[in-house]
Amino acid sequence: MAAKPSLRGVTDNDLRLLRVFRAVVACGGFAAAELELNINRSTISRHIKDLETRLGVTLCRRGRAGFALSAEGEKVHTGSLKMMAAMEQFQHEVADLNQRLTGSLSVAIFDKTATNPLCQISKAFTLFDHQAPQIHPQIHVEPINAIERGVIEGNFQLGIIPNHRPSNSLDYYKLFDEQMFLYCAVGHPLFSRNTVSVTASEVRRCKYVGIGYHSPNMEVGRKLGHDRSATAHDQEAVAHLVLSGAYLGYLPEHYAESFVSRAVMRPLLPSVFQYVCEFSAIVRRSPPPNRVVQTLLDSLVTAHTR
């Protein structure tokens, strides 16, 4: 586009267009955003075109090739998330003045925690709902690094992650543990072997799938001598590759239990190839949590200490 960016002051209409843009990105395209926004595709397209004209940049590609953000669109989306998070923070602070818990609350949780018997996140939300019934929770499931970055940047007000390397920008509140074992599946050469005949050196020579970002999985994999032959970015991906019979991989005991009970997976040398993850709630150290976030944080701590 020939026009120069001209957004010198953010108007109510700009905010409305940015919210439409945010929904389109979150839904992955115009068609999927129709249900979320309850407006038709042509109207959504017009709103995005108006926003592009207002900003003087092309935000996304749409058409038969599918939906994709441009480089400029990525920057606008990231900036708009930060701006809207700051606005929500301001709204919570104003509500605090009137002793009202209203608005929305964005929380990010690491995946595959619901089946952990030590995880009481659902009970925490029961407590939270009793105290703040007018709050609209928005729950995201993200990798550790995305949760940490999102909390630090203000896109998420609270996160729940496995502890790995602490950040000086965050405060941590211990919640629960998770036992991890190294699993193989039907079809793998070690699956049908007698447990006592399997050696640690044999296990280390097998193809191994590990998490591809800094995490307890990455740290333990290196410490225990696994060479990563495949990379996964969540527990579900690890499970798929383990179930292929070609790879070994660490999974939470509670998550793998359904596969073990069906005799399609088993842990290998559990006294050697295992580790425990500690999960914590994280919030930004500065500014300190507003009353809504503090209420959820207190609910999480209470639910995990009963």
Tokens of 93: 């602070």
Q: What is the pLDDT of residue 28?
A: 81
Q: What is the pLDDT of residues 184-236, one digit of tens each?
A: 999 999 999 988 899 999 999 999 999 988 889 999 999 999 999 999 999 99
Q: What is the pLDDT of residue 4?
A: 54
Residue 255: burial class (beta carbons within 10 Å; 0-12, 13-18, 19+): buried
Domains of the chain: 1-99 (1.10.10.10), 101-306 (3.40.190.290)
Output the tens digit of pLDDT for each of the chain's 306 residues.
Answer: 444 555 666 787 888 888 888 888 888 888 778 777 778 888 888 888 888 888 888 888 877 767 888 888 888 888 888 877 777 767 666 656 555 566 889 999 999 999 999 999 999 999 999 999 999 999 999 999 899 988 988 889 999 999 988 888 899 999 999 999 999 999 999 999 988 899 999 999 999 999 988 889 999 999 999 999 999 999 999 999 999 999 999 999 999 999 999 999 999 999 999 999 999 999 998 888 888 999 999 999 999 997
Q: What is the pLDDT of residue 198?
A: 94
Q: Is the peptide bond before 287 cis (omega within 30 degrees of 0)?
A: yes
Cα–chain center distance at 2: 38
Q: What is the pLDDT of residue 1?
A: 44
Q: Confirm if 119 and 176 have CB atoms less than 8 A apart.
A: yes
CA nearest 21: which of 241, 57, 171?
A: 57
Q: What is the pLDDT of residue 91?
A: 65
pTM of the model: 0.69
Q: What is the pLDDT of residue 255?
A: 97
